Structure 1
Amino acid sequence: MAGNAAATGRSSSPPLAIEARGLVKRFDGFTAVDGVDLSVPEGAVYGILGPNGAGKTTTLRMLLGIIDPDAGYRRILGAERPHDVARAIGYLPEERGLYPSMKAYEAIAFIGALRGLPLKEGRRRGRELLEAQGLGYAADRQIRQMSKGMAQQVQILGTLVHRPRLVVLDEPFSGLDALNQGKLETVIRGLAAEGTTVIFSTHVIAHAERLCDEVAIIAGGRVPFAGPVDVARDRIPPQVRLETRAEDGPWRAALPDSVRREGRYWLFALPESGVEPLLRRLIEGDAGILSLSIERAGLHDAFVAIAGEAAARALEAGTPEEEGK
């Protein structure tokens, strides 16, 4: 198949739901986004991962045409004007907002109507969606009578009620408890299984690592990495966790200078020569191997290596990366 694609000049890569090149946005002389490139394949779950204030929301708003970039290019679902395909997009903004007097199923229908879905059909689908999420009992409850978490679930369902081809979620897990975060992860996986493209921003690495096919790491308004999660993790060599009976001996020469000790374990990067030469030297040097495991780097370690310690600290703390962003 690959040979046929090459012979005909066609790429075997999936078509792109989102393509952006060199996006720039300035506010009063401050550059919030500085040359962002993104390529989001159709049907992918794509994460924009970075601290608060890194430029995630500004990037999403430019992609959707809510604000225009000062420089750069974007194409959404094949259109250069995002508003031309607005009815095929579902968008959950970072700032949540529903009319307090509306009933839950009506609120869902109303959001769908803004994307062209007839109200009658939206009401029917609204009740179905609430039932599927275990919230059927709250369909006729006013938004003001709901908890913050339940109201947020209603807004998420409103984002999906018109069955969009592309779903854009800005910090969707914010404000949800662990149970409802799990439910939202299930919804996102279900959308992906149906072929819907999902792009979401987050400052929580665990969500991106569990859900995303690809990520863009954003820091300081720039994207130092964009691509598959596995490729990001491979930026760091696998780590060896070694436990030995002996504390010292000739075998220590097999360990790199960067080795560190944590409790009873030796921790170090797997040598480029691989594990077999390492094992041979440890055995010949009478290390007395009690356990040895090779652990692939996680997305958190990759983020630190790519974006730097300061961005990682801001990510973990949930604080702005820099003042004014």
Structure 2
Amino acid sequence: MKQVLVLLLLLGSFVSQAQALRKRTVKLMGSRFDITIVAADSLAAEKNIDAVIAEVTRIENLISDWRDYTQISQVNKNAGIAPVKVDPEVFALTERALRFSKITKGAFDISFAAMDRIWKFDGSMTQMPSPEVIKQSIAKVGYKNIVLDREHSTIFLKKRGMKIGFGALGEGYAADRCREMMLAKGIKAGIVNGSGDMSTWGKQPNGSDWAIGITNPMQRDTIFAVIPLRQGAVVTSGSYEKYVEFNGKRYAHIINPATGYPATGLTSVTVFGPSAETANGFSTSMMVLGKKKGLKLLKKYPEYSAILITDNGEVLSSPNLNIADYKLK
């Protein structure tokens, strides 16, 4: 449900006298992960990249909904049958995801995994699905039918055929978890970028902040602002590549799980804050909610800020982020 970033990572010097920067790109969680580590020397940097890969793989083997042996797959197989005991880590992630469902009134919903894929964004759709077909497509979706038992650490899906899946939220969680792990090991700088869910910490070897360049999807070859990141996260959800148009209206590939209809109005939402997992929840939700309701939601969480780009190319930002301060002259 999430389109990969409209962000450009701007790296400074790759080496200094006291530090080495190494970067590796791998496929994890079915997506691209770019891992950058700054360490005392190249060998230490490479070893810590290996540790990050191992940690993401561990998380994937807990929460993947397409690998039969994972705990989440067992939860899905037992939908409508029985609760399934899961590790505290999996339970806590599910609990946080449900919290997002509640505060967004279903605009974010991990049970979207059971949604029928009736919308096609490959150019093959010639007409909109009927209201009846759309309604049927979300018959098994509904976060209120997910039952958590904290005492026994179990998850139960009330309806047969229900499924949960963390998708990009899981990638954000993995990026945050790896950052915490690296800091605990004394690695003072790096970036874990899970398919656009980016957690950063420390500084580049030349002493400058990590920075990202923001592009407008209407003019993707042009960076209009550069924003520094200081031990924070950034996530972008967008619809600028996958969408359909009917009767002059643009329908994004990000579907509202509460209605079955695609999001409209926003082309991309970029969220900044301390956690990639939480920023992902906000960016996805805001795409569904639209600019007015999305900004109203984010206002309640001042540690997070956002840049929104509408379908007609208008650039907006949350009140706590003055985009003019970062625009290129």
> Scaled by the length of structure 1, what TM-score is found?
0.21
TM-score (norm. length: structure 2):
0.20
Larger Rg: 1
In terms of fraction of residues, the more helix-rich structure is 1
